Amino acid sequence: FAVQGEKWKYTNLTWSLSSTRRPSQLDPYGTRSVLARALDVWAQASRLTFTEVNSDEADIVVSFAKRYHDDAYPFDGRGAILAHAFFPGTGRGGDAHFDDDELWLLQPRDDDEEGTSLFAVAAHEFGHSLGLSHSSVKGALMFPWYQGIQPNFVLPEDDRNGIQQMYGPKKSTKWAKIPYYRPAEPPPTTTTTTTTTTTTTTTTRRPYINQHHNRHQDRYPNRPYTPYPRIPSKYPAYYPEKPNHYPYHPDRRHYNSSEEHPRRTNHHHNFRPTETTSHPTTYRPRYPYVQPEYPSNPRPNYPNDPRQDNPRKPYYPEKTTQRTTTTTPSDKPDKCDTSYDAVALIRGELFIFKNRYHWRIGANGHYPGYPMETTRMWPSLPRDLTHVDAVYERPDRKIAIFIGKELYLFNSQYLVPGYPKPLSTFGLPESLDKLDAAMVWGHNGNTYFYSGTMYWKYDEEKGRVDYDYPRNMAMWKGVGYNIDSVFQWKDGKTYFFKGKGFWKFNDLQMRVENERQYPSSTFWMGCPTERAGRRAGYK
Amino acid sequence: RSRPTRSAHEKSARSYLETFGYLKKGRPEVGNLQLMGNEQEYEDDFRIAIKTLQEFGGIPVTGEIDTATKNLMKQKRCGRPDREDGEDEHRRKKR
């Protein structure tokens, strides 16, 4: 193929059959249909779209003329020159002229050697309208000599390459309809999971990521669903009331409307009422706290109420067993003064892991209710999990969690069958006890595993590390050995974590931008500087 | 030196080659004057153009206006040149 040089600056082109120079021997409707099919040949192979308009100002104006017709390229009667078109541009740029003396065929006929397929010639001429010159490949659509058209015509590869070089291939819609973060199907029940007996009768509800699980149609998919009970009742509507007080939590703005806790005018993030204040308040310690009863007004039991059988039950998130106790969780980390076990960007959200908990930070900041046990998000992890070693999101969007000598691979929240697998499966040495960190390096798209003084490059396609690894961590200048975590943030930069601080890494220079660390809690957790810890960071 | 005679076939072939970009279009008013002293180059350009046409059209490359070349020139085709203006400037000038 040959690209002439000029191309349209936009891909949504308009076309029109000239209002004044229409074919004298052809039905105009049939002609337009054939022309549209000819344009579709190029549209199917590229990002171009064509819209028919009724205007001589369209990008591509098709006209039929004989002999001299106001351009420097007169036709020659029947035979020889069939048509010509102009390269992209203003004015007559993109226009296509057809010799009206030819015997144009709207439908190809095998027995007609004299006739000329309008579809074949139009498809060729429109190639010129889009910027392609003639091709010397026999069989190509842009071959200058007429070749007719075959049934089930498919755009030849030479022409496809040419048009895609100019305008790009047609966008794939493979992922267009797949919802965000929804697995294709859950794994079979043969997945081994540890089962333990619970000490309470209530079941722990697992949080879902971007999935509905509490709607009527989710719980009872086979039952008919009406948005609300459309059953008239003589009794007044029931609306559950919110409790008159909320548990005190340092991360939650608390507002109190009851007499016991009058509304304050000065709401401070960490404000803690004391007995010395003038407000008649009750001291409520930070821990422990007691969950109020939901709802504070139980639904009355109306006799013969038709809605009794079809109530619209309000939903309240179930509390875990831990929150119903009065003892303080002793290992919940302080987000403003802790190191991290692992940091990963999963589905565009930041996950920070510490001990058996993790924080989740989205576009709007911290999610409420965190830190949360990691096993609540990924239930297939060991129940006795103490901490994770490394986490990263693979290019295929699966989530890899490294714990000790094993890798747990999740498809959303579901463990992929066959996992966990030992690290040795991926070419890592048997003697390796754990990984420190793992990431997909945005600089080159490769996956790297880090442990101690060494790092490996992992081939996602082959499923094992490359043969000339491990290499010395000194390659990553400035981060030292035994890092805690590494990941690529949305800004495209690489961040290495060690202790309570982090470095920003310069991918081009292969060194940290600043030898001294920045405090992690201030940058990633939003903690005030004075709470970030006064211990000097790693250098 | 006597002026060379051009057959009708050669004239139509030359016109064809000029129309579709294989030969540079000559200026008729000075065409004969240019011939004098540049005949060899004139013939070389013509033969090269024929060869280029034969190569482009996928027929045996002979440099002569043979039957296959004549048939090729008679076939129905697009009116755009096969070689656009300025293409030669980007090509290596062959000795």
Please give the angle made by the CA atoms of A136, A140 and A146, to the nearest 5 degrees: 85
Q: B84 to chain A, minimum CA–CA distance in Å? A: 8
Contacts of A135 (CB under 8 A, 6+ apart): A1, A2, A141, A142, A143, A158, A159, A162
Q: Which residues of B touch A (CB under 8 A)?
A: 20, 55-58, 72, 74-82, 84
The per-residue pLDDT for range A169-218, each reduced to its tens digit, is 887 654 444 333 333 444 444 444 444 444 444 444 444 444 555 666 66
Going by C-alpha positions, the residue among A220, A72, A332 that lies closest to residue B85 is A72
Q: What is the DSSP letter of A487?
A: E
Contact list in A for residue B72 (CB cut-off 8 A) is 145
Going by C-alpha positions, the residue among A95, A99, A35, A37 that lies closest to residue A64 is A99
What is the arithmetic mean of pLDDT over A259-281? 42
3-class SS letters over A121-142: HHHHHHHHHHCECCCCCCCCCC
Please, are residues A229 and A311 in contact by the beta-carbon 8 Å criterion? yes
Among A114-128, A152-166, A229-243, A282-296, the least confident range: A282-296
Residue A284 is predicted with a pLDDT of 42
CA distance linking residue A197 with residue A19, whole number of Å? 81
CA distance to A274, B6, B8, B70, per residue, from B12 (Å)? 108, 10, 6, 10
The per-residue pLDDT for range B33-72, each reduced to its tens digit, is 444 455 666 677 888 899 999 999 999 999 889 999 999 9
Integer distance in angstroms from the first to the last C-alpha of chain B? 27
The per-residue pLDDT for range A13-47, each reduced to its tens digit, is 999 999 888 899 898 899 999 999 999 999 999 99
% of residues, chain A, pLDDT over 70 = 66
Chain-chain contact of B58 with A136 (C-beta, under 8 angstroms) = yes
Pick left, alpha or beta for residue A7 (phi over 0 → left; psi -120 to 50 → alpha; otherwise beta).
Answer: beta
Query: Given A102, A125, A373, A393, which residue is catalytic?
Result: A125
Contact list in B for residue A138 (CB cut-off 8 A) is 58
Q: A428 to chain B, minimum CA–CA distance in Å? A: 54
CA distance linking residue B82 with residue A34, whole number of Å? 25
CA distance linking residue A420 with residue A415, whole number of Å? 8
Is the bond preceding residue A303 a cis peptide, omega within 30 degrees?
A: no
Structure-token match 């009851």, residue found? A258
